[in-house]
Amino acid sequence: MDKDRGKRLAAEEAAKHVERGMTLGLGTGSTAAHFVDIMGVRVAEGWSLKGVPTSEETRRQAERLGIEIIEPDETTVIDLAVDGADEADPNLNLIKGGGAALLREKVVAHAAKKFIVIADKSKRVAALGAFPLPVEISPFGWALTVAAIRKTLAGQGFDKSELTLRAADGAAVKTDGGNLIIDCALARIDDPARLEKALNAIPGVMECGLFCAMTDMIIYGDEDGISIAAP
Ligand code: 5RP
């Protein structure tokens, strides 16, 4: 399967929901990057659009394309947020955070009047959890927070979960906000909403990568076209 074509087709479909003058939440990752590219074309065609980026990487891309950047602190209105996902279930619950931008992505998606997810079809799963769940935590007392996450997971029935501090080139990955990411290998999450609530209640956890009951529509793409999942 040509995943990139699927990502592009999904992004093109999402672009049909954009109207002139909108303030857009701009997601992070290779699929969201297609959407940002298309918005760059609209701006070059003379459309007035503003973008609230969910990462420094997306900010750089949007700036290169001439999209006017709005800081999240400068607006209380986001008309539409469009972002990718690492996994999505039939109830439109998501795992996000593969690109370490989950806190900013969730703030923007939650604030948006409408949240559309775009993904290649490989992201569609019967149940979440094969993709290790990212949890963004404060660096302060991080080992204590990891111990608390482990305890909470055990209380939720995940006795043998493997927790890994995300690292690259021998150093811990820092998010744009200076936080750390703990990847939790859980295999299968039967009640994502309950787990989201339990993890987000731990002091030191900034956000977990479960996005439950937030998504208005998922547009899946593959080389043959798109399909839409909506509540
Ligand atoms: C970043 C994310 C991304 O949306 C997710 O990782 C999907 O990325 P891609 O479109 O490259 O597959 O959550 O934090």
First-residue to last-residue Cα distance in the chain? 27
Amino acid at 108: V
Return the pLDDT at 231: 87
Return the pLDDT at 23: 98
Q: What is the mean pLDDT of each run of 10 residues along the chain (231 residues)?
A: 92 98 98 98 98 98 98 92 98 98 98 98 98 98 98 94 96 98 97 98 98 98 96 87
Return the pLDDT at 90: 98
Return the pLDDT at 1: 65
Quote the pTM value: 0.97
Torsion of CA 52, 197, 173, 65, to 10 degrees: -10
Return the pLDDT at 100: 97
Q: Which residues are catalytic?
A: 105
Gap from CA of 82 to ligand 1 centroid (Å): 11
Gap from CA of 42 to ligand 1 centroid (Å): 23
Mutate to test the pocket of ligand 1, among 26, 54, 61, 86 (most ligand atoms within 8 A of CB): 86
Which atom of ligand 1 has the smallest separation from the CA of 101?
Answer: 14
Return the pLDDT at 13: 98
Give the contacts of 111 (CB within 8 A, at least 6 positions apart). Answer: 25, 72, 76, 78, 81
Length of the chain counted residue by residue: 231
Pick the CATH number of 133-206 from 3.30.70.260, 3.10.580.10, 3.90.550.10, 3.40.1710.10: 3.30.70.260
Task: For residue 77, give the nearest of 119, 126, 21 by alpha carbon.
Answer: 21
Beta bridge partners of 51: 24, 69
Gap from CA of 183 to ligand 1 centroid (Å): 14
Which pair of structure tokens corresponds to residue 186?
């859980």
Task: For residue 123, give the nearest of 81, 82, 89, 99 by alpha carbon.
Answer: 89
* Domain boundaries, given as residue ranges, for the chain: 3-125+213-229, 133-206
Top-level class of domain 3-125+213-229:
alpha beta
